[in-house]
Amino acid sequence: MKSSNATHTTLPARLALVIATAIGAALLHGCGGLPPDTTPDEPQGAVVVIVVEEGTNAPLGVPATVIVGGVRGVQGVNDEQLVLRNVPVGTGTPPTQPMTISAPGYVTSATQAQLNVTTATWIQVAVTPADTSATGTVEGAVTSFDTGAPVVNAFIEFKIEGNPEAEGVAGFTDNEGRFIVGGIPTGANQMTVLATDFLELSQRVVVIVDDDGTTPDKNVVLISGSTRINVVGRVLDVLTRQPIAGATVAIGDEPTITTDGDGRFTVPDVLVGERKLQVTHPNRDPYRVDIVVMPGMAGLVIELFEAAQDPPVGPSTITGQVTVTGAADNSGATVTATVIGEANPTATTTTNEAGAYGLFVPPGLYRVTVRYGGNQLSRDVTVPIGGVIVDGINFAIASN
């Protein structure tokens, strides 16, 4: 089974909206006609592309790789134009197809090109020179995890890491799933890959400056959003590590499963993506967490606490200190831990004179809130499995 260390999330709607207007591109309608349709339901046409340098309308002086609707071609140094044939026209109103222009020393242009239905489409695209001492180029391929087939018209975008508001550099794949994107700022970038009917993929890519070398190819595998896998795991007591039989396990909307005598369970045919996991047992505190269901995922290990009317006595799993400014001491501040997304606190306590507090909660993602005299502060805290104590969750709050 194939696996990937990359992060996948559900495909967002932005794929359909990506870069709707070309930078420096103008559509020119000329004479010509469509070649015979090979599939009546999917008309195909001819696209004539002229690539020039922005601001000059002069030829580039280097070959330009052009991809329209998955069809790839190269406008040579001495070519006035490039003719791409058998390009899918599309069924939109007006019909459009993804278009990518890449050339050495220039920033890759990615856009949706509007195509003619009854005549050939003429498109002139102006591309921007890149600083090859500060930018790099990434090539690669996108394939399907389920079939191994190339993913056509996948959108690949690079953004400098740590600056999500920065303008990205992007391109689309051709009929073989290949892509080439140039003019990317060098250093650590976040590469995002989007394709219809697939989960989004995001991974870190270090881009090498063009003047110094070549960035290794980045071949990625996308997982179909309709993929289903079996999720396996085991439910244990958090303190004794003994198996818990008879626990009920629910993932998303799938039917619930009950653990066997060894605490093991298998939830069959779970849809990939982010899903809610809930485990319950009559004598245990409920366990809730969001998980990412992916092929190749490791078996889950879930640890439950014994149920109790009062907070369990023992070592706290979240500890810290509250400093109450302007008060005689630090006692009397109320501290709560609430599961993210829920309304009622899982645990509540008050600080002593030194301001110390401790909360005993099962593993999960919590919002820890301190309140005093009408003021409140909050922090999000993750409590890992395995009885780990999260210490140093400190606050400073005013007394009025």
Q: Would strands 356-359 and 318-325 be described as parallel, antiparallel, or unpaired?
A: antiparallel
Do the beta carbons of residue 339 and residue 368 sit within 8 Å?
A: no
Decide: residue 242, CB within 10 A, 0-12 exposed, 13-18 middle, 19+ buried: exposed
E strands present in 30-70: 44-53, 64-68
What pTM was estimated for this model as a whole? 0.63
Over its length of 400 residues, how does the chain's per-residue pLDDT go in tens digits?
333 444 444 344 344 433 333 323 333 333 323 333 344 466 888 999 999 999 888 889 999 999 999 999 999 999 989 999 999 987 777 888 999 999 999 999 999 999 988 889 999 999 999 999 999 999 999 999 989 999 999 999 999 998 878 889 999 999 999 999 999 999 999 999 999 999 999 999 999 999 888 899 999 999 999 999 999 999 999 888 899 999 999 999 899 999 999 999 999 999 998 999 999 999 888 898 889 899 988 999 999 988 754 444 457 899 999 999 888 899 999 999 999 988 889 999 999 988 999 999 989 999 999 999 889 999 999 999 877 889 999 999 998 7
Q: Quick one: tokens of 1?
A: 């089974």
What domains can be seen in the chain, in order of their start residue? 7-222 (2.60.40.10), 229-304 (2.60.40.10), 318-398 (2.60.40.10)
User: In degrees rounded to 5, what are phi and psi of residue 363?
Assistant: -60, 145
Rounded to the nearest 5°, which phi and psi values hold at 83? -105, 120
Do 101 and 25 meet the contact criterion of CB atoms below 8 Å apart?
Answer: no
State the pLDDT at residue 248: 96
Residue 308: per-residue pLDDT: 54
